[in-house]
Amino acid sequence: MMVDNVPLGMKGELRPALRHLRRKYPHSRIHLNLRDILDDAQTIRSSWRQTGTDLEIDELFDAINVFGCREIYDSQAEYGLPAERTQFLGYIGPRTQTALPEPAVGEGSDVHTVLVTVGGGGTARRSSTASRGLQGELGAASPFHFIVVTGPLMDTALRHGLTAQLAGQPGVEVHEYLPRFACPDGARGPRALHGRLQHLCEVMGHARRSIVVPRQYPRREQLIRAEALAARAVLRVLPMDRLDPGSLRDMLERSLVDGPAITDADLPSLGWHRRPATPVAHGTRPSPALPRARPGCGCCHPAAAGHGAPWGGRGATPARGGRAASARLASPLKGSCLPPGC
């Protein structure tokens, strides 16, 4: 059984089912799948302690699969997850790796396409308002063309409102959905992004120049993730409370001049597959057959990866076994995210 991200369910509704499964079918395997970051450590530990989730994790789950890299954020240590049953599986990258041209400023058209994914609620309003305001200030001479993507899950009334707000503004177009996430003009186009994990996985797979506006409430997950990636020059962070036409223009111009700019050599290898070290097929507790976690998972550790790149290198053949579905993994820079034993 796979439990996704909330160990006992949103309101604890999984607790009796998991206990029944453990008691009635002791040979079943129960996995907990977690995002790389849930919230800051103090908030998660306090919440889990109050609800008894920390004890249930230790009693009920055979394996904890973290979809992230330990050296970006060590959730096993931060949240107190069982070390011997926690494995880091890397980030889930785009299904295809698109060859993008080298970054170039001033070649061909002087207009740079800016892809904007706005998220929802207040984030969407502020992002779209800043884009519209910047184009209004720059007028016909604007060096930017904004493609604003609302996403298919945005509230219908909000989407119609944003579309009406941006309608008629030169240099701004609005889409509910784009079949291809990459900017139409490839590497030259900056991206201004909502800080959701899915968006940042796309950034790590394709984007050359990205600006992330992370949400800080009701959870700090997006801010923690964005700052960790910004520290490795993968992207730039523009705080939500500073988002306005002036700060957006400054960040876009800085991004075009001096990066971050991920070159072809630094794009991740996305053709790597790995099966979890613990098979989902039949097994017995309390021996989950997981390797004991190491201080560094190797996702981004140069020594474990075998070369000097700060985000690790290519690993050998991944572990096989069991019936678990394989996942595509990506590291933000060159090489596979998971060497053996990660």
Q: Distance (Å, rounded) from C-alpha 82 to C-alpha 59?
A: 10
Query: Is the predicted pLDDT of residue 80 greater than 80, yes or no?
Result: yes
- Section 273-301 average pLDDT: 42
The CA-CA-CA angle for residues 29, 279, 86, to 5°, reads 75
Q: What is the pLDDT of residue 19?
A: 96
Query: Is the predicted pLDDT of residue 304 greater than 60, yes or no?
Result: no
Helix (H) or strand (E) holding 175: strand 172-175
335 DSSP 8-state letter: B
Q: What is the pLDDT of residue 218?
A: 86
Domain locations in the chain as residue ranges: 2-93+269-330, 112-266
Instruction: Answer yes or no: are the C-beta atoms of 112 and 144 closer than 8 Å.
Output: yes
Q: What is the pLDDT of residue 269?
A: 38
pLDDT in tens, 170-187: 899 888 887 765 544 444
Place of tokens 């991004």: 255
Instruction: Answer yes or no: are the C-beta atoms of 113 and 147 closer than 8 Å.
Output: yes
Instruction: Answer yes or no: are the C-beta atoms of 85 and 63 closer than 8 Å.
Output: yes
Exposure string for 245-263, b = 16+ CB within 10 A, e = fewer? bebbbebbeebbeeebbbe
Tokens representing residue 177 in the block: 């959905």
Q: What is the pLDDT of residue 45?
A: 97
pLDDT category at 95 given cuts 50, 70, 90 is: low
Torsion, Cα 127 73 255 252, to 10 degrees, reads 10
Query: Is the predicted pLDDT of residue 237 greater than 50, yes or no?
Result: yes
Query: Is the predicted pLDDT of residue 334 greater than 60, yes or no?
Result: no
pLDDT category at 168 given cuts 50, 70, 90 is: confident
Query: Is the predicted pLDDT of residue 300 greater than 80, yes or no?
Result: no
pLDDT category at 115 given cuts 50, 70, 90 is: confident
Average pLDDT, the chain: 73
Query: Is the predicted pLDDT of residue 330 greater than 60, yes or no?
Result: no
Q: What is the pLDDT of residue 195?
A: 65
pLDDT category at 125 given cuts 50, 70, 90 is: confident
- Section 139-166 average pLDDT: 88
Q: What is the pLDDT of residue 327?
A: 33
Q: Which of 70-84, 191-205, 251-265 has the highest mean pLDDT?
A: 70-84
How many Cα atoms within 13 Å fall on the side-chain side of residue 115?
25
Least confident of 157-161, 232-236, 247-251, 297-301: 297-301
141 DSSP 8-state letter: G
Multiple choice CATH, 112-266, 3.40.50.2020, 3.40.1830.10, 3.40.50.2000, 3.30.70.600: 3.40.50.2000
Q: What is the pLDDT of residue 27?
A: 93
Higher pLDDT pick, 287 / 160: 160
Q: What is the pLDDT of residue 266?
A: 52
End-to-end CA distance of the chain: 22
Q: What is the pLDDT of residue 149?
A: 87
CB count in 10 Å sphere of residue 308: 8
Amino acid at 278: T
Higher pLDDT pick, 234 / 227: 227
Q: Distance (Å, rounded) from C-alpha 36 to C-alpha 180?
A: 25
Q: Distance (Å, rounded) from C-alpha 169 to C-alpha 144?
A: 12
Q: Which of 46-50, 99-103, 146-150, 218-222 has the highest mean pLDDT?
A: 46-50
Question: From edge to edge, which strands make up the β-sheet containing 273-274?
Answer: 91-92, 327-330, 273-274
Query: Is the predicted pLDDT of residue 337 greater than 70, yes or no?
Result: no
What predicted TM-score, i.e. pTM, was given to this entire model? 0.72
Q: What is the pLDDT of residue 180?
A: 61
